[in-house]
Chains A and B, each alone.
Chain A
């Protein structure tokens, strides 16, 4: 390491080396070299003298020395060794520089001392002006590759040392920020990726550099800079108009190996759009299911399970707003408009400190910013849904909007369903409206809003309706090149309503809603080129109306029943540091301190300690006034991950993190159903917590076009909620009497192989994972399976996924998706008997058996319209078949009595090949 001298070092030396005289060291050396390479040559001379050598091993690698001398000074030895060669040496103090082709002069030219003096004066002046001067300076818009952009106040010569370069990377056509673009500096071999605002900051040695900028779906580009002092540069990227669809997972080709995070995947909407889905419309959540470590209980659910976590343990964020029910239409569709989504990021293991409050994962969905230059839009027509979006500038280059809408006309499909669902109806729609405004160079504001509605009836007179609503305002402020902040405030609401009006005497309305008010301030401080610090705070005020059951109409005899509302405040302070200890070793460590307050007004039952929470064990109850703190849970979350690069394309990473969750979804159905309720932690329901340790090996091959990774993890779950047999979850004032705290463990290994470029691209993943739960505390109520470990509902040990895309020509490509997994656990009947006039079954221990294995293959053909850039509309077709083999995958199996006889049935959701077609138009 020490001997690796780059040209840069010479500058330092030239500037600081004031001692000019060559000191004659009288040490005499004897050597005997026979065809010796430079490394050995140098180390031997160093050992025998007190000189240090500096040279470029690449340039010197063809040097072979054959020399035998006795008791000669070092100058003589070097002269003899390099005689009649292109190699030169220079001696200055105790340092010897070896060069090829040109010799280093260790003396300064006459008159240099005066220039030096002037420079030093200027340097002192600059140190003061560094930050003040750039304030008023216009930020460079670097648009061409061949020009050399000068950054910072010009000095001559260029001062030594590092300075900070920052700026934005934007799309030249829409003015939209490019997230995850990698800026790579070839001369120093370091790089940085842009954040969610397209912002980057990097510490570089002053001097001339070439920046190489790469981003998903954008043309690779470079910028040449002459870097004098701290400064800004904005880079605009051109879209790859004719780009063939590629299944690329990661924005940064080297991110797989170089990033410090484990278990993080970013997917661009272009990737998402080529994966075949049941009804032809790109589905954000279905794609997540193809990633290793992610499973679901079945097809009719968009609830997903990450590394052994339940479906409610995923924090789903849409532009920072929490989405409680991310599904439409019984879970057949994700509730996100694919025409607006820009990208998604799934964190399975290394969850950044700024996120918290859920145990398993964070799915961060980002919508596009509106086009700041032109009005554009798109529309899509599918078999079940249609969508439309329009975007454009309000003030050119400053303010833009984007609006999206989606609706369904799915009733015809329901009439094709079996008798049991034939007389059903379903409608849904969703709307997004986002505004972004650039106040000035340092301030941006973003307003995003979202509304989704669902209403359906399943062959009965009961109508279910649910809705997500959220609005958020985000303000981004750059203090200076090193520090910026994002302050977010918002309101999220999820509600559902169930009503039945068929019989006027029992007509009812059942309503549930959850409201949360968020405030968040996130700071990003680029301390030095070795430390990037994140810190901030967040606070969420939850208000839940856990259920009101009220008569509908005057005739109704229903007794009005209202479960008292709940309130809680979840706050957190966090601090994290990404520390580049050496170019190969990076550590990211952080702490998030959570404080949770359960607030009144509320009446809380106090139960006798160490006895099951049941009515008979209630000691008394305490009533708290509104806003009064009932109890507080405080705990730190630890987030650590580290990366060590073993070779150019190989690294190992390890991580440990802990998480806490204070809001729980109560559901004893296999999939998330629209009638599930959320419950806040209270004195009787402890917060859930988990900790996870994970390790991985990451390798890139074939010029970073093939990425391979193996990750293993082990996770512990505490106070995981399971339910007593026959638990009543809806309209239950004393829910703590029907739930039990279980503990769990999850472990697994995930293998991923991706090809990111070429005619054939895609990924292949295999996951082995287990999730086991246990309830062995007899004081908590009933023991499940006698207190031994049992598999969780979503425990699927083997899971295999292949997603591939093959391009025939620029216009035609084919996508194939293959999924296999072990059947999920099920509780099966093991004996039968007669009771209540009918044959009935006796069930096995919980989740003792499994449903048949799952297999599905999908196929789609993507046809692009012509590729002329300048035309009024661009259109494309997607035609395909979902479940190509028509395998009747069991969603569930069940045993039910019909006419007094027990029969087993298997319920399949998509039991036949489903053809689909989609037409998209862009204008």
Chain B
């Protein structure tokens, strides 16, 4: 019996019992599209950017429809109005608002279809500064966390977003380039494709609260976790963290949004709830408008992390699958009689190579002799401008 039991245990252990699968519901089309308002009114001197868009159908290829011809302004309870300027792609911009912290403000939107939308009047809530940002390692990740405290004890709810920038290197250094017809030496100052900068923004909603703590201090608020073999950590990495103070109401909105779209999928999950923002249509108060507008000063902090500072196990293996080939001007295949120009065939995209062609790296020459051809690799392995920019960002140091 013992034996038989074991046998069955082995069978069952080899089967995955639960499972999570991709699921596409029957095509659902929303009866109409709803206005989406995103942004924080920066009460200080920094930039205020409000994004306006309409929702799209779930099956749609685009993720949003920007609203470009709206009129957007910030209005105080005393009727002072600060208009925002459209800067394209549904973004509306202003800066240096320097609002009065003792007053309440609201956002006024006149949509292109002449519908008026107003946010509730919102108090100005300034974020305390970010005290420090630190990292440690856990579960093969580098975890970046922040520390904040509020000496005035007025802020209990926080939200963060961030912008990360990091240096990437190509696998190979390219000294040459092609103009399509011929291979030229590369300008290594302005046209270096070995080192670039790339960046990304946060995609998850980061929230935390001190309301359940004895002191208004957040010591280990996790911002992000980066796998320790990520390219982000291969050379030099920088993160700019924006910290926003929230009212309880705003915190609930963001929590709901997060719960609805990020936290689902375990057995004991809450069901989706309906979102209630603080923006309303004047004509039809029941019309859903997505978004919550807050007013306040934003605390920011940028840190740099250099690979040199990190332990040895933080190691990036480079792009997988890269090889170097050599292409000759005159190549005779084994046993063949016809001479082939491999440089034209693989590198010069106007002369036969598939655009953009291989990226030439180094010349192939006999000592003192003419250039017979080039070593080359595919662009993803040797041209970092495909994944970032080779212009150093202004803040970089």
Query: B268 to A849, Cβ gap below 8 A?
Result: no
Q: Check if B8 is an interface residue, CB within 8 A of chain A.
A: yes
C-alpha spacing A416/B202, complex, angstroms: 33
Query: A836 to B21, Cβ gap below 8 A?
Result: no
Q: How many residues of B contact A (CB 8 A)?
A: 77
Query: A416 to B264, Cβ gap below 8 A?
Result: no
Q: Check if A564 is an interface residue, CB within 8 A of chain B.
A: no
Q: Check if A583 is an interface residue, CB within 8 A of chain B.
A: no
Query: A904 to B24, Cβ gap below 8 A?
Result: yes
Query: A668 to B271, Cβ gap below 8 A?
Result: yes
Residue from A381, A834, A895, A911 in contact with B19 in the complex, judged by beta carbons closer than 8 Å:
A911
Query: A670 to B58, Cβ gap below 8 A?
Result: no
Q: Check if A888 is an interface residue, CB within 8 A of chain B.
A: yes
**Chain A residues near B267 (CB-CB < 8 A):** 300, 330, 671, 673, 891, 907, 909
Query: B272 to A827, Cβ gap below 8 A?
Result: yes
Nearest B residue to A848 via CB reads B28
Q: Check if B22 is an interface residue, CB within 8 A of chain A.
A: yes
Residue from A383, A561, A912 in contact with B8 in the complex, judged by beta carbons closer than 8 Å:
A383
**Chain A residues near B290 (CB-CB < 8 A):** 833, 835, 842
Q: A503-B220, A905-B21 are in contact. Are A911 and B271 (CB under 8 A)?
A: no
Query: B266 to A458, Cβ gap below 8 A?
Result: yes
Of B170-178, B209-217, B323-331, B372-380, the one contacting chain A is B209-217
C-alpha spacing A416/B17, complex, angstroms: 7
Q: Check if A554 is an interface residue, CB within 8 A of chain B.
A: no
Assign chain A's interface to a size class: 35 or more
Q: Check if B341 is an interface residue, CB within 8 A of chain A.
A: no
C-alpha spacing A911/B22, complex, angstroms: 14
C-alpha spacing A701/B79, complex, angstroms: 83
Q: A383-B8, A828-B28, A835-B291 are in contact. Are A505 and B220 (CB under 8 A)?
A: yes
Nearest B residue to A910 via CB reads B17
Q: A725-B275, A726-B256, A895-B261 are in contact. Are A421 and B18 (CB under 8 A)?
A: yes
Query: A896 to B8, Cβ gap below 8 A?
Result: no
C-alpha spacing A834/B52, complex, angstroms: 10
Of A367-375, A429-437, A655-663, A913-921, the one contacting chain B is A913-921
C-alpha spacing A310/B155, complex, angstroms: 40
Query: A890 to B262, Cβ gap below 8 A?
Result: no
C-alpha spacing A722/B16, complex, angstroms: 36
Can you list, as one digit per residue, whether each of A655-687 has a CB less than 8 Å from chain B (1) or not (0)? 000000000000011110111000000000000
C-alpha spacing A100/B226, complex, angstroms: 103
Q: Check if A897 is an interface residue, CB within 8 A of chain B.
A: yes
Of B30-38, B70-78, B185-193, B296-304, the one contacting chain A is B30-38
Residue from A330, A557, A830 in contact with B58 in the complex, judged by beta carbons closer than 8 Å:
A830
* Chain A 818-848 interface residues, beta-carbon cutoff 8 Å to B: 827-844, 846
Can you list, as one digit per residue, whether each of A318-332 has a CB less than 8 Å from chain B (1) or not (0)? 000000000000100
Nearest B residue to A908 via CB reads B19
* Chain A 779-838 interface residues, beta-carbon cutoff 8 Å to B: 782, 784, 786, 793, 827-838
Q: For the complex formed, measure the closest distance between the CB of A725 and the CB atoms of chain B, giving whole angstroms.
A: 4
C-alpha spacing A786/B288, complex, angstroms: 12
Query: A831 to B12, Cβ gap below 8 A?
Result: no
**Chain A residues near B261 (CB-CB < 8 A):** 838, 840-841, 895-897, 902
* Chain A 213-235 interface residues, beta-carbon cutoff 8 Å to B: none
Q: A835-B38, A841-B261 are in contact. Are A893 and B25 (CB under 8 A)?
A: yes
Nearest B residue to A505 via CB reads B219
Query: B17 to A911, Cβ gap below 8 A?
Result: yes
Q: A841-B260, A917-B8 are in contact. Are A833 and B269 (CB under 8 A)?
A: no
Q: For the complex formed, measure the closest distance between the CB of A557 and the CB atoms of chain B, giving whole angstroms.
A: 5
**Chain B residues near A829 (CB-CB < 8 A):** 28, 58, 272
Q: Check if B339 is an interface residue, CB within 8 A of chain A.
A: no
**Chain B residues near A902 (CB-CB < 8 A):** 58, 261
Q: Check if B56 is an interface residue, CB within 8 A of chain A.
A: yes
Can you list, as one digit per residue, whether each of A390-430 has a CB less than 8 Å from chain B (1) or not (0)? 00000000000000000000001101111011000000000
Query: A838 to B17, Cβ gap below 8 A?
Result: no
Q: Check if A190 is an interface residue, CB within 8 A of chain B.
A: no
**Chain B residues near A914 (CB-CB < 8 A):** 12, 15, 17
Query: B220 to A725, Cβ gap below 8 A?
Result: no
Q: Check if B391 is an interface residue, CB within 8 A of chain A.
A: no
Q: Check if B55 is an interface residue, CB within 8 A of chain A.
A: yes
Q: Which one of A420, A559, A836, A916 has the greatest number of beta carbons of chain B within 10 Å?
A: A836
Q: Which one of B18, B205, B259, B290 has the greatest number of beta carbons of chain A within 10 Å?
A: B18
Q: Check if B57 is an interface residue, CB within 8 A of chain A.
A: yes
C-alpha spacing A915/B13, complex, angstroms: 10
Nearest A residue to B58 via CB reads A832
Q: For the complex formed, measure the closest distance between the CB of A217 and the CB atoms of chain B, giving whole angstroms.
A: 27
Residue from B8, B60, B215, B288 in contact with A832 in the complex, judged by beta carbons closer than 8 Å:
B60
Query: A907 to B20, Cβ gap below 8 A?
Result: yes
C-alpha spacing A412/B11, complex, angstroms: 12
Q: For the complex formed, measure the closest distance between the CB of A827 and the CB atoms of chain B, giving whole angstroms.
A: 5
Nearest B residue to A835 via CB reads B38
C-alpha spacing A420/B18, complex, angstroms: 10
**Chain A residues near B64 (CB-CB < 8 A):** 832-834
Q: Check if B320 is an interface residue, CB within 8 A of chain A.
A: no
Can you list, as one digit per residue, whether each of A845-888 has a CB less than 8 Å from chain B (1) or not (0)? 01001000000000000000000000000000000000000001
Residue from B21, B34, B265 in contact with A842 in the complex, judged by beta carbons closer than 8 Å:
B34
Q: For the complex formed, measure the closest distance between the CB of B207 and the CB atoms of chain A, giving whole angstroms.
A: 10
Can you list, as one digit per residue, whether each of A563-580 has a CB less than 8 Å from chain B (1) or not (0)? 000000000000000000
Query: A726 to B255, Cβ gap below 8 A?
Result: yes
Q: Check if A900 is an interface residue, CB within 8 A of chain B.
A: yes
Query: B4 to A917, Cβ gap below 8 A?
Result: yes
* Chain B 211-256 interface residues, beta-carbon cutoff 8 Å to A: 212-215, 217, 219-220, 252, 254-256
Q: For the complex formed, measure the closest distance between the CB of A829 and the CB atoms of chain B, giving whole angstroms.
A: 6
C-alpha spacing A27/B51, complex, angstroms: 111
Query: B36 to A725, Cβ gap below 8 A?
Result: no
Q: Check if A894 is an interface residue, CB within 8 A of chain B.
A: yes
**Chain B residues near A557 (CB-CB < 8 A):** 213-215, 217, 219
Residue from B13, B55, B262, B270 in contact with A833 in the complex, judged by beta carbons closer than 8 Å:
B55
Q: For the complex formed, measure the closest distance between the CB of B209 and the CB atoms of chain A, giving whole angstroms.
A: 11
Query: B53 to A827, Cβ gap below 8 A?
Result: no
Q: Check if B338 is an interface residue, CB within 8 A of chain A.
A: no
**Chain B residues near A849 (CB-CB < 8 A):** 25, 28
Q: A330-B267, A919-B1 are in contact. Are A837 and B36 (CB under 8 A)?
A: no
Q: For the complex formed, measure the closest distance between the CB of A563 and the CB atoms of chain B, giving whole angstroms.
A: 13
Q: Check if B5 is an interface residue, CB within 8 A of chain A.
A: yes
C-alpha spacing A420/B266, complex, angstroms: 9
C-alpha spacing A903/B12, complex, angstroms: 30
Q: Check if B274 is an interface residue, CB within 8 A of chain A.
A: yes
Nearest A residue to B269 via CB reads A669
Nearest A residue to B11 via CB reads A915
Q: A834-B36, A897-B261, A919-B1 are in contact. Are A793 and B17 (CB under 8 A)?
A: no
C-alpha spacing A903/B23, complex, angstroms: 8
C-alpha spacing A764/B27, complex, angstroms: 35
Q: A831-B56, A834-B63 are in contact. Are A786 and B262 (CB under 8 A)?
A: no
Q: Check if B308 is an interface residue, CB within 8 A of chain A.
A: no
Q: Check if B120 is an interface residue, CB within 8 A of chain A.
A: no
Residue from A793, A833, A907, A908 in contact with B36 in the complex, judged by beta carbons closer than 8 Å:
A833
Known: A418-B19, A833-B290. 10 other contacts (CB 8 A): A557-B219, A558-B214, A725-B273, A727-B273, A830-B30, A841-B261, A849-B28, A893-B23, A897-B261, A913-B15
8 contacts between A and B (CB under 8 A): A418-B20, A503-B220, A840-B257, A840-B261, A843-B260, A897-B203, A908-B19, A917-B5
Chain A interfacial positions (CB closer than 8 Å to B)? 300, 330, 381, 383, 412-413, 415-418, 420-421, 458, 503, 505-506, 549, 557-559, 561, 668-671, 673-675, 725-727, 782, 784, 786, 793, 827-844, 846, 849, 888, 890-897, 899-900, 902-917, 919
Chain B interfacial positions (CB closer than 8 Å to A)? 1, 4-5, 8-9, 11-25, 28-30, 33-34, 36, 38, 51, 53-58, 60, 63-64, 161, 201-205, 212-215, 217, 219-220, 252, 254-257, 259-276, 286, 288, 290-291
